[in-house]
Amino acid sequence: MEAILIDKTGKDLGKKVKLNKSVFGIEPNEHAMYLDVKGTLGARRQGTHQSKERGEVVGSTRKIKRQKGTGTARAGSIKNPLFRGGGRVFGPRPRLYDIKLNKKVKVLARKSALSTKAAANRMAVIEDFSYEKPSTKTFQALVDNLSIEGKKATFVMTDADKNVMLSARNIPNAKTISVNELNTYEIMKADKLILSEASVKAIEGILS
């Protein structure tokens, strides 16, 4: 399995990069991708929501009216959930939304997401490059040459490409992440996935 290699200006170099078929060419498992994305988004939720139940609402505990003879339903407390200002029944409580996934399921999900992008021709490999200093203008030129303006483009780099990552942070819809941050959600969210040569080897080493 091969992919076309482009340079840092977005032009085709006429070379091809070999991709590990066991990582970029498997039959996608949609359920594994769903579970991994669900787990990623769930882990981002704070889960600190809470409402007051009848035992937590401020109010008198005096019986508000006599038990019988009123012609209406009996009521024992102003904090009754049926009354305005009363407690809430079965309200939200603090909780964790993340789910446990086996490592093999996560690996399968990432392989499936990468294979989906490769099959749809929405993935490219760019030669390793670096900037001496952050330059938004230079990185914008790369985005323009790749014809991805207005699309969500995710550049996967190694941790050493700090200046490249700083160059992209002010460009709308362009995002750079390191190999260690790559997950199924980031892969599937991108309209175009651009991998550096070094990141391809790192990904294959992690997922193989």
- Residues 200 and 130 both lie in one domain: yes
- Residues 193 and 127 both lie in one domain: yes
C-beta of residue 192 within 8 angstroms of C-beta of residue 151: yes
Residue matched to tokens 């049926």: 82
Cα 108 to Cα 30: distance, rounded to the nearest angstrom: 10
- Residues 32 and 85 both lie in one domain: no
- Residues 154 and 202 both lie in one domain: yes
| Residue 39, domain extent | 2-46+99-207
Cα 185 to Cα 40: distance, rounded to the nearest angstrom: 7
Chosen domain end from 66, 91, 116: 91
Chosen domain end from 67, 91, 115: 91
Instruction: Find the DSSP H helices in 45-180.
Output: 103-119, 136-145, 162-168
Please count the structural domains in the chain: 2
- Residues 38 and 55 both lie in one domain: no
- Residues 15 and 73 both lie in one domain: no
- CB-side exposure of 49: number of CA atoms within 13 Å? 7
Question: 6 in helix, strand or coil?
Answer: strand
Question: 202 in helix, strand or coil?
Answer: helix
| Torsions phi, psi for 195 (to 5 deg) | -105, 135
- Residues 122 and 163 both lie in one domain: yes
- Residues 58 and 42 both lie in one domain: no
- Residues 153 and 62 both lie in one domain: no
- Residues 147 and 79 both lie in one domain: no
CATH number at residue 190: 3.40.1370.10
pLDDT of res. 104: 95
- Residues 69 and 32 both lie in one domain: no
Cα 19 to Cα 140: distance, rounded to the nearest angstrom: 27
Please report, in tens digits, the pLDDT of each residue of the chain (208 residues total).
788 888 877 777 778 888 999 999 999 999 999 999 999 999 999 999 999 999 999 998 899 999 999 999 999 899 999 999 999 999 999 999 999 999 999 999 999 999 999 999 888 898 888 888 888 998 888 888 887 777 898 999 887 678 888 888 888 888 889 898 899 999 999 999 999 988 999 999 999 8
pLDDT of res. 89: 94
